[in-house]
Structure 1
Amino acid sequence: MSKKLRFGIIGVGRMGGRHAFNMAWGFVHDAKLVAVCDLLPSALDKFKRHKKIKKYSSYKEMIENENLDAVIIATEHYSHGEIARYCIEKKVHVLIEKPLTVTKGDSEKVLEVAKENPDVLVGIDFNQRSNKMYRKAKKLISSGKLGNIQRVDYIITNWYRSDAYYKQGGWRGTYCEEGGGCLINQCVHQLDILQWLIGMPDKITAKTKTVDRNIYTENDIVAIFEYPEYNCSFSASSHELSGVNRLEIALDKGRIVIGSFFMKIYRHKSQKQVNKETTFGYGMSPSTLTISSYGFFRLIKDLVLGQQIRAIRAFAKAIKNKGKPLASVEEGINSVELINAIYLSSWKGEKVSLPIDADEYEKELEIKREEEKNKIKG
């Protein structure tokens, strides 16, 4: 039996706590949890029965004392960059919970340190990349079998969060503590999938607003991503009771539709070729349909262990085999930049070109943070 990797987890609240218990009970076969760290004693108290797991209130002490192979960072968003840079410089492999950081500028600092330490594996926990439906779509688009992309629509409105959700943590729904609302906390997964499948847009126009919640940030987003040959619409919210999750990619020779549990692939003749040959003014060309499912047993595993466990397993395997993580730092920066660009467009009321000015975003975000502080004081 090969030696198991020594893991530590920094931040063992909701998500970090779930990672910790999955590892403590042996569900990540290539790794063992040897230490956890959190600023809150109540979070560490959950691990009283696990005597072999060391508890720390300082991540630096944990790194210095435990001879760790890797850490998972699951702290509040603004702290991701500083903690990641410290761990990388200490030659500890790092898996960061989404988002990589709050701003493009801070994310680029992580990338700089990662490049200076090429033997250290750094990944982002974008677990949706392990979804076999998205992976199949990625392969199909890259193959060119369905031709060029003509249109993309992504609607993700099944992130329902009530006022009770925001009251559970004072950091939720704030610019000061979370760096934003639904967009940065929930939609970051879908934005990563988008840039992974179709790349980064040239320009973004967006509107964000708050609907029926006592929070300072947005819970409703509509954006248009402009690409050289097509446009992509992105709509998201966390206030709808009957929301949906649907990605539709129309291509010259077919269409890909992905929902929460099923994937549909339509194949037909080239639209461009049909347009040249047809004598009819309207109508539809015959197509074949293939339907794939997410998988019943896979769904049950996700409900019990969480989708994130696949990303952790893949990360541990990548360390052992000197491979690559599901999502790299460079790709983590892409999703952060999309978030920053959407906010910039909405705040300024204008179209934004990519790449964005990182310094400009920092200044605009600070304005929002100050406005939020003044509202709280008032």
Structure 2
Amino acid sequence: MDDAVRFGVVGLGTQGTLYARLVSQGRAPALRLAAVCGSNPASRATDRHSALAAELGVPLFTDYTALLESGEVDAVVITTPHYEHPAFAIEALRRGVHTLLEKPAGVYTLQVERMLAAGAEHPDATLAMMFNQRANPLYSDLKRAIDSGLFGELRHSSWIITSWWRPDAYYASSPWRATWGGEGGGVLVNQAPHQLDLWQWLCGAPERVFARAQFGFRRDIPVEDEVNAVVDFGHGATGHFMTGTNDLVGTDRLELLFDRGKVLVEGSSRITTWLLNDDERTIARTMSPEDAAKAPSGALDLSTFWSSDSRDYASRWGEQHAAVLQNFGEHVLDGTPLLASGLDGLAQVKLANAMHLSAWTGRDVDLAHLDATQYLAELNSRIAAEGRYPTRE
């Protein structure tokens, strides 16, 4: 481990294969690919997994425990189905194997909390999240600007993220997809976790949430395919989050309103900022009666009160994922601060759970006092109604 962390990839679907190739190609030099772990021997994908392992020159394991106890790896990334994430992480942490989790950290809060408790019992083993959008230079630059106080205090935020349209064939591609028992939910669990994480990373964790969701709105599925949520960040700041999988054109638009400026992010690749000459309230209070009379009609040029700037960001495919992999390896080697920890994974799952619970019950949900037991009971009632998967504990 003096030069690189011996790294195993668990789960060889699209994401796991990407991570194995990125590490093998040297795009995360703090890691060295040492093994991969795929499906059991009876799986139809075994031949593909064997071919991948041979191509990359590493052993293929079909038993996860055998990989952890082989002595071949110091760390793993887990890219298995959502419900398995916490249990797989716990097995790794108990053996002192550093763990990077694909999003989400789990499906429901109780299982993620159990995972964090296991991590606390084994503090020498790292638990990190693959929230790769935190490595997007646009968002990392924006985070630094917000934290510096450049824009002042947050007043409102709105994120419309509908740029992941899915056709019927997508949902029919696997029997577990878009089910409560197999996947754990719809857009909040599958597509939107990165934005739920980024939103809190930039704005802080909401205190309360009220949500309305459509279940099987435009597709023949039992889970949510459209969600509108209103949140209270505290200190007078509010927010709106809208997501869905039915918008063929799609929108990715984040607005952040502060008392000294405004930020607009479009497509997660273009950012426009407006920096006010003074606090907005000061501008309003000190404006002359003559200028104030011109404002409603548009006769007053309000642009004299701010300076604006726009910038486009480009990101090569896999670049953000490679950055998180490298950060994870550097943390294991020398303690470099993590881009995203297991606690960040819990925050994302908790917000998604709160949106579900609010939509199911029709009431506000207090994030600090989220009833995780009630959430699991509501989830299990839906799993039982499907009649295809066992309920969860």
What TM-score comes out, normalization by structure 2 length?
A: 0.90
2:221 maps to which residue? Answer: 215
User: Is 1:370 aligned to 2:389, yes or no?
Assistant: no
Report the Cα distance in structure 1 between the residues aligned to 2:27 and 2:309, rounded to whole angstroms: 34
The structure 1 residue matched to 2:165, chosen from 156, 160, 164, is 160
Write the letter of the residue equivalent to 1:37.
C
The structure 1 residue matched to 2:186, chosen from 171, 181, 187, is 181
Report the Cα distance in structure 2 between the residues aligned to 1:374 and 1:24, rounded to whole angstroms: 38
8 Å CA contact 1:171–1:178 kept in 2: the answer is yes
Change beyond 3 A, Cα 1:55–1:101: same
Write the letter of the residue equivalent to 1:20.
A
1:336 maps to which residue? Answer: 349
SS in 1 for 2:217: coil
8 Å CA contact 2:327–2:336 kept in 1: the answer is no
Segment of structure 1 superposing worse, 361-370 or 319-328: 319-328
User: Is 1:99 aligned to 2:104, yes or no?
Assistant: yes
Deviation sequence 1:27-68 (CA, Å, 0-9, x none): 322222121112232452341533731111111001111331
Write the letter of the residue equivalent to 2:126.
L
1:225 maps to which residue? Answer: 231
SS in 2 for 1:344: helix
SS in 2 for 1:205: strand
User: Is 1:290 aligned to 2:296, yes or no?
Assistant: no
SS in 2 for 1:185: coil
Deviation sequence 1:234-291 (CA, Å, 0-9, x none): 0011111111111110011110111222111101131110121122153535221111
Change beyond 3 A, Cα 1:51–1:14: closer
Deviation at 1:211, TM superposition (A): 2.9
1:250 maps to which residue? Answer: 257
The structure 2 residue matched to 1:262, chosen from 262, 265, 270, is 270
SS in 1 for 2:327: helix
The structure 1 residue matched to 2:338, chosen from 325, 340, 360, is 325
Report the Cα distance in structure 2 between the residues aligned to 1:203 and 1:225, rounded to whole angstroms: 6
8 Å CA contact 1:12–1:43 kept in 2: the answer is no
SS in 1 for 2:239: strand
1:271 maps to which residue? Answer: 280
Write the letter of the residue equivalent to 2:264.
V
8 Å CA contact 1:201–1:226 kept in 2: the answer is yes
The structure 2 residue matched to 1:144, chosen from 136, 149, 158, is 149
> Where in structure 1 are there 5+ consecutive unaligned residues?
none
The structure 2 residue matched to 1:87, chosen from 89, 92, 100, is 92
Report the Cα distance in structure 2 between the residues aligned to 1:114 and 1:50, rounded to whole angstroms: 34
> Where in structure 2 are there 5+ consecutive unaligned residues?
297-301
Change beyond 3 A, Cα 1:9–1:66: same
Report the Cα distance in structure 2 between the residues aligned to 1:291 and 1:155, rounded to whole angstroms: 20
8 Å CA contact 1:122–1:328 kept in 2: the answer is yes
Give matches, 1:5-154, under 5 Å. Answer: 5-39=5-39, 40=43, 41-47=46-52, 49-50=54-55, 52-154=57-159
Structure label with greater radius of gyration: 2
8 Å CA contact 1:153–1:247 kept in 2: the answer is yes
User: Is 1:358 aligned to 2:377, yes or no?
Assistant: no
Change beyond 3 A, Cα 1:149–1:51: closer
Segments of 4+ moved more than 3 angstroms: 281-285
8 Å CA contact 2:35–2:72 kept in 1: the answer is no
What TM-score comes out, normalization by structure 1 length?
A: 0.93
Report the Cα distance in structure 2 between the residues aligned to 1:2 and 1:352, rounded to whole angstroms: 47
8 Å CA contact 2:34–2:72 kept in 1: the answer is no
Deviation sequence 1:207-240 (CA, Å, 0-9, x none): 1113321222111110001122121000011111
Report the Cα distance in structure 1 between the residues aligned to 2:284 and 2:245, rounded to whole angstroms: 41
Deviation at 1:2, TM superposition (A): 5.5
Segment of structure 1 superposing worse, 240-249 or 137-146: 137-146
SS in 2 for 1:50: helix
Q: Tell me the C-alpha RMSD between the 2 structures.
A: 1.8
8 Å CA contact 2:4–2:333 kept in 1: the answer is no
8 Å CA contact 2:78–2:101 kept in 1: the answer is yes
